[in-house]
C-alpha cells in the first residue's frame, strides 16, 4: 500500500467513526425525547382516568423505544475516533 492509499484508508476510517458518533448522538437524543414523552403521558394518565390505561400503554411503548435507542447509541458509540483514545 502506498502513502496515498494509506491516507485514503485513514480518511475513510475517520469518516466512518464520525458517522458512527453522529448516529450514537442522534439515538441518544431520541431516547431522551422518548423518555420525556413517556413522563408526559404518565402525567396525563394521572389526570385523565378514562384514558389512563391507553396513556400508560403508550408511555410503556415510549420507554421500550427509548431503551432500544440507548442500545443503538451504545452500539454506534464505539469505537472512538482514531487517535482519540486507547486502541488507536
Count of beta carbons in the 10 Å neighbourhood of residue 56: 16
Q: Judge whether residue 87 has pLDDT over 80.
A: no
Q: Judge whether residue 80 has pLDDT over 80.
A: no
The residues, any chain, with a CB within 8 Å of residue 2's CB and separated by 6 or more, are none
Q: What is the CA radius of gyration of the chain?
A: 20
pLDDT in tens, 12-53: 999 999 999 999 999 999 999 999 999 999 999 999 999 999
Q: In 3-state terms, what secondary structure has residue 56? A: helix
pLDDT of residue 77: 83
Tell me the C-alpha distance between 23 and 73, whole Å.
7
Amino acid at each position: 500500500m502506498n502513502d496515498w492509499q494509506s491516507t485514503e484508508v485513514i480518511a475513510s476510517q475517520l469518516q466512518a467513526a464520525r458517522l458512527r458518533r453522529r448516529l450514537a448522538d442522534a439515538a441518544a437524543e431520541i431516547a431522551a425525547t422518548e423518555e420525556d414523552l413517556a413522563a408526559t403521558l404518565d402525567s396525563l394518565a394521572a389526570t385523565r382516568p378514562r384514558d389512563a390505561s391507553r396513556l400508560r400503554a403508550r408511555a410503556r411503548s415510549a420507554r421500550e423505544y427509548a431503551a432500544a435507542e440507548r442500545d443503538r447509541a451504545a452500539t454506534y458509540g464505539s469505537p472512538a475516533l482514531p487517535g482519540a483514545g486507547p486502541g488507536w
